[in-house]
Amino acid sequence: MTPAARLAAAIQVLEAIEIERRPADQVAAAYFKGRRYIGAKDRRAVAETVWRVARRRARLDWWLEHVASTVRGPRARVLADLVIAGCRPGTDMFEGVHASLPPDIEERQMMDRVADQARGDLFHRDMPDWVRGEYPPWLRERLAALFGADLPRQMGAMRDEAPPDLRVNALKATRDEAVAALAKEGIAARPTVLSPLGLRLDRRVALSALDSYRQGLVEVQDEGSQVVALLVGAAPGTAVVDYCAGAGGKTLALAAGMANRGRLVACDVAEWRVDKAGPRLRRAGVQNVTRRVISGESDKWIKRNAGGFDRVLVDAPCSGTGTWRRNPDAKWQTDETTIAELVARQKAILASAARLVKPGGRLVYATCSLLPEENEDRVEDFLATHGQFRTVPVTEVWPDLLGTSCPVAGPYLRLTPLEHGTDGFFAAILERAPSS
């Protein structure tokens, strides 16, 4: 592809993300799948532009408004981003096959004003804190209550791109063996601080082309997600449910912790997500997982298996505010109505999953959200109506399950990019009283 075609493709992907109510990575994947002529190198270049502009959306929109431009939207953001970066695209950037139309007079005026006033700096002293931090203004009050004076630094860390993390598959390799295998393929990996199974890469790589990945030695998983799975305490020979299993990321981690021994059920309401887990489970050498599609919180399988499991993990559907480093588009697709719907759903899921826990067993509730109403509030509400459960402080179980000192004071786990270098995660460990 020519530079002009790459630029046009990035604009097209960003426009599709704006229109469709789907995660940006899915939109981008569909775009490239329908254009097989775009090679791997060109896909990377287009993706770099897409994600860079997506991470700068609030600041770029601020500049468009600041210079009183009449042009808005994905194309305007891309053009503004180019001139702030010092690139003044000439006519050659809009010529040839698959190229975009050249800038019209209003776009050229916008580019001139942005270039003159920004002078290469994406930030400006007059930007509100929510613009600087790249988050929706309606969330400011909630986030300020959570982080206080540290809000600018916390959201600044959320703004940056997340490093790629891998989880070593304990069914097939030790961490040292995985590091060595990756090194043979020219990939440098260093151990993560919190997860004893984690590896962090300095750069993104095409994992599907690596033997160590194809052979199931490593799996993509943020360090915070690894920690949540480890806190479940899924041991060999136990009975475990991954209640909202999705595509199976935490299911894989639980199976490895169980050493393929015991009963592990991966549930989800979406059949396509359950099916998607199949190839990942096979690649990892997992043999003790039963995948099950459930109709919802009142599914008959839940009633039949009530009180039958030692551990139940509820990785609840949530706003995903803790994953903005990886999914910058998601922050602009969430609103008050979405949060209210999620809270109601989380309450119902938690109550339903609790029925599966046997006396003396544990329920781990987790989200990748920063918002207390999806986290602490949900747990406190649950405990108020389920007197047979108590909170187990994460500080009590961390040393035994992870082998290091706990990085939080408890009783719950709350991780953030700024403080822990992970995605934003929350987890609460709830134990059911033993039978009298």
In the chain, % of residues over pLDDT 70: 100
Residue 202 CB partners (closer than 8 Å, separation 6+): 163, 188
The residue type found at 217 is L
**Could you tell me whether strands 309-315 and 357-367 are parallel, antiparallel, or unpaired per DSSP bridges?**
parallel
Measured between alpha carbons, how far is 111 from 83 in angstroms, rounded to an integer? 6
Among 39, 15, 38, 37, smallest CA distance to 27 is for: 15
What is the domain partition of the chain in residue ranges?
3-134, 165-220, 223-432
Find residue 366's DSSP bridge partners: 315, 427
The residues that bridge with 430 in the sheet, in sequence order, are 363, 391
CATH 3.40.50.150 correct for 223-432? yes
Burial of 236 (0-12, 13-18, 19+ CB in 10 A): exposed
Residues 6+ apart with CB under 8 A from 132: 59, 123, 152, 155, 156
Distances (CA, A) of 419 to 132, 158, 408, 414: 19, 11, 10, 10
User: What CATH number has the domain spanning 3-134?
Assistant: 1.10.940
CA 198 distance to own-chain centroid? 16
- How do residues 232-269 score in pLDDT, each as one tens digit? 999 999 999 999 998 889 999 999 999 999 999 999 99
**Six-digit token pair at 377?**
């509030």
Mean pLDDT by 10 residues, the chain (436 residues): 92 93 89 89 93 96 94 95 87 82 92 94 96 96 96 95 96 97 96 97 91 96 97 97 92 96 94 88 95 91 96 96 94 93 97 97 98 97 97 97 92 97 97 88
Q: Output b/e per residue, 200-217; b: 16+ Cβ within 10 A.
A: bbeeebebeebebbeebb
CA 10/CA 16 separation, integer angstroms: 10
pLDDT tens digit string along 339-359?
999 999 999 999 999 999 999
Q: Is the pTM of this model over 0.75?
A: yes
Nearest to 335 by CA among 383, 371, 302, 301: 371
From the list 74, 9, 16, the residue with the least C-alpha distance to 45 is 9
Question: Contact 305/356 with Cβ under 8 angstroms?
Answer: yes
Please give the sequence-ordered ranges of beta strands (E in DSSP) within 147-238, or none if there are none: 165-168, 189-191, 198-201, 218-220
First CA to last CA distance, the chain: 70
Report residue 372 as tokens.
């207390």
Strands 357-367 and 425-432: antiparallel
**Residue 410 pLDDT:** 82
Identify the pLDDT of residue 79.
95
E strand or H helix at 279: helix 271-284
d(CA 17, CA 397): 42
Architecture of domain 165-220: 2-Layer Sandwich (3.30)
Cα atoms found within 13 Å of the Cα of residue 240, Cβ hemisphere only = 33
The number of helices, as runs of H, and strands, as runs of E, in the chain is 19, 12
Identify whether 368 is a catalytic site residue: yes
Q: What is the C-alpha separation between 427 and 203, in angstroms, rounded?
A: 28
Catalytic residue, chosen from 244, 267, 318, 368, is 368
- Given this model, what pLDDT does residue 113 score? 95
pLDDT of 87: 86
Examine domains 3-134 and 223-432 and report if their fold is the same.
no
